[in-house]
A and B are shown apart, each in its own frame.
Chain A
Amino acid sequence: MFVLIFSYGPMVGLVMAFQDYKPWLGMTGSRWIGLDNFERIFQYEEATQAIVNTLIIAVIKIVVGIIVPIVMAILLNEIRLAGLKKSIQTLVYLPHFLSWVTIAGIMIDILGLDGGINRIITGWFGSEPIFFLGDPNLFRPTVIVSDLWKNFGFGMIVYLATIAGIDPSFYEASEIDGANRWQQIWHVTLPSMLPMIIVIATLSLGGILDAGFDQIFNLYNPLVYSTGDIIDTYVYRSSLLNGQYGFGTAVGLFKSGISLILIVISYRIAYKFANYKIF
């Protein structure tokens, strides 16, 4: 029941994407305009810019979001003091559970022109303060790094479990063969993690049009629309703030349609290469 109403209910509303929707006319009364809304996606510079931004931000996020947790998991595994290892784990998982509103609040403060980071930059290096959230050239790196900071710990969990599950006799055997630690990581640890890495990498393909609405919405401002505006924030502005309901829905449908295709493909690949099934 829930599913039918709240998940499939909105899908009925997708007909709006093909209409010149006016709230006072409703879905049945609005003019049918076919694919015009979709054509406009590619005519509006702002819309195409948002698609490009989304792709750039999401792709970089996916790539670093896969590599960094792997590296960190391997490095953490090299720490022998069990207590220290546990404390580090406890601390790095924490940001994942804070909301972007909270984190944006902290970031706006410490990354502001007279915030903590800029005090260090101007005080220690004597250079000009850097406007992380207002400079179009710096907005994307700021978004990517802060997203990484929030989520790398959580991404590590699966890899740590995989490393813990590696048969110790592999390491003993390689040690007898004279392998050093680096060679062990390269020839034992990484190959053992590979199936899991492939699964996670393929499954993240579906997120290629998802650049993180919660994060960007709370961090961006008109100064950085040129590099920071993404599909979801554009949909929000064009439809709810500017009243272009049909057009906003079309952009949203465009996004979820492509994502759906990518997800189906990536699940197929994951199933084929790693025998992974979701249910």
Chain B
Amino acid sequence: MYHKSQGYRIFSVFNHILLIVVALSCFLPLLHLLAQSFSSKAAVNGGLVSFWPIEFNTDAYVKTFNNRNFMGSMWISIVRTVLGTLIGMFVITTAGYALSKDFRGRNALMWIFVFTMLFSGGLIPSYILISELGLKDTIWALVLPGAFGAYNLILIMNFFKTIPKALEEAAFIDGASFFVIFTRIYLPLSLPGLATIGLFIMVGHWNSWFDGLLYMSTTEKYPLASFLQTVVVQNSAQNVALSPSEAAALSEQSIKAAQIFISTVPIIAVYPFLQKYFVKGIVLGAVKE
């Protein structure tokens, strides 16, 4: 038996160590961030904080939750995520249902959709379009352009295709309309698929930052991810919003860490659900006969 051989045991020990180190590396940066957000200025600026807070305090969080720009951006992010997910799911499921059937012109329609995955007008034309439509500086600029994802459409269509035709035929005989069949048979039966795609769309909206930067002209209208981009990457001191007296007590890095951490909380909160479904969803989408 190979498990018993000397060589395999040595390999196994190294393998365990390697994988545990790799797994920790995926998680420790977040822990470091959390520790910084709870630590005192002296400890953070002195680089003493590793993975445990030093001189524990919650000032950075108090400050962040009192920052009106931050909270405003968070609200915009919540609205766009909810709205974007609802609209996106509606468009994709209805289109997916129709396209899971055979009808004249289906293939042509499918190619029109798939082509959007392969080719796009690019940055400037999209920007001009949004401006011309008068969507600039409105929430719709963040919600509508991405509502129709061809990749998600293909995933959901494949889910619908696995539902036995006999169910639909039986419902027809009982006098059900397409709408009833869609809402009472197809949607409930493909719940895992819907959950996967819904969660993907949610995470996508929450994390999306570039459209906010592009289509919103003032920082007050930025969603949280774009706001964070100005704080973290562009280093905008204005959005950290520390008065001189506060700056004496609070490290800028603590504020940044707190802001980054708060913005990842929703992701971490849905992560267990995500994980439950996405493995299945990915595998179904990729491995097909």
* Interface residues, chain A, with chain B CB atoms under 8 Å away: 2-3, 5-14, 16, 27, 72, 75-76, 78-79, 84, 87-88, 90-95, 97-99, 101-102, 104-106, 108-110, 114-116, 119, 149, 153-154, 157-158, 161-162, 175, 180-181, 184, 196, 199, 206, 213-214, 217-218, 232, 235-236, 239-240, 245, 248-249, 252-253, 255-257, 259-260, 263-264, 276-279
Contact = CB atoms under 8 A, between A and B. Distances in A.
A180 B5 contact: yes
Contacts of A14: 121-122, 125
A247 B23 CA distance: 44
Contacts of B206: 99
Interface string B64-93: 000000000000000000000000000100
Interface stretch (B107-115, B167-175, B182-190): B107-115
Contacts of A87: 23
Q: In the A-B complex, list the 4 residue pairs whose CB atoms are closest, starting with the nearest.
A: A13-B125, A10-B121, A252-B122, A99-B207
13 contacts: A2-B148, A3-B116, A6-B144, A16-B128, A75-B15, A78-B15, A91-B23, A102-B207, A116-B50, A175-B1, A181-B2, A240-B124, A256-B119
Interface of B: 1-2, 5, 7-8, 11-12, 15-16, 18-20, 22-27, 29-30, 32-33, 36, 47, 50, 91, 110, 112-114, 116, 118-129, 133, 144-148, 154, 157-158, 203, 206-210, 214, 225, 228-229, 232-233, 253, 256-257, 260, 263-264, 267, 271, 274-275, 278-279, 282-283, 286-288
B236 to A, nearest CB: 13
A1 to B, nearest CB: 9
Contacts of A99: 206-209, 225
B23 A10 contact: no
Point out which of B7, B119, B123 has the most chain A C-beta atoms below 10 A from its C-beta: B123
Given A2-B91, A10-B129, A157-B282, A256 B147 contact: no
A264 to B, nearest CB: 8
A217 B265 CA distance: 24
B29 A106 contact: yes
Contact of A75 (B18, B123, B229, B283): B18
B8 A181 contact: yes
A206 B151 CA distance: 15
A152 to B, nearest CB: 9
Nearest to A276: B288
Given A157-B283, A181-B2, A105 B207 contact: no
Contact of A236 (B120, B123, B225): B123
Tell me the interface secondary structure of chain A in the complex. helix
A105 B24 contact: no
Contacts of A181: 2, 8, 11
Tell me the interface secondary structure of chain B in the complex. helix
B147 to A, nearest CB: 6
A92 B22 contact: yes
B28 to A, nearest CB: 10
Contacts of A175: 1-2
Nearest to A81: B16
A153 to B, nearest CB: 7
A218 to B, nearest CB: 5
Given A75-B19, A88-B23, A90-B275, A105 B122 contact: no
Point out which of B1, B24, B253, B275 has the most chain A C-beta atoms below 10 A from its C-beta: B275
A264 B118 CA distance: 9
A249 B125 contact: yes
A214 B207 CA distance: 11
Contacts of A9: 121, 125, 129
B129 A13 contact: yes
Contact of A263 (B19, B29, B118): B118
B16 A278 contact: no
Given A93-B275, A278-B154, 18 more contacts: A6-B126, A6-B144, A6-B148, A8-B116, A8-B121, A13-B126, A14-B125, A92-B22, A99-B208, A104-B232, A105-B33, A105-B228, A109-B36, A109-B253, A206-B118, A214-B209, A253-B122, A256-B122
Contacts of B209: 99, 101, 214
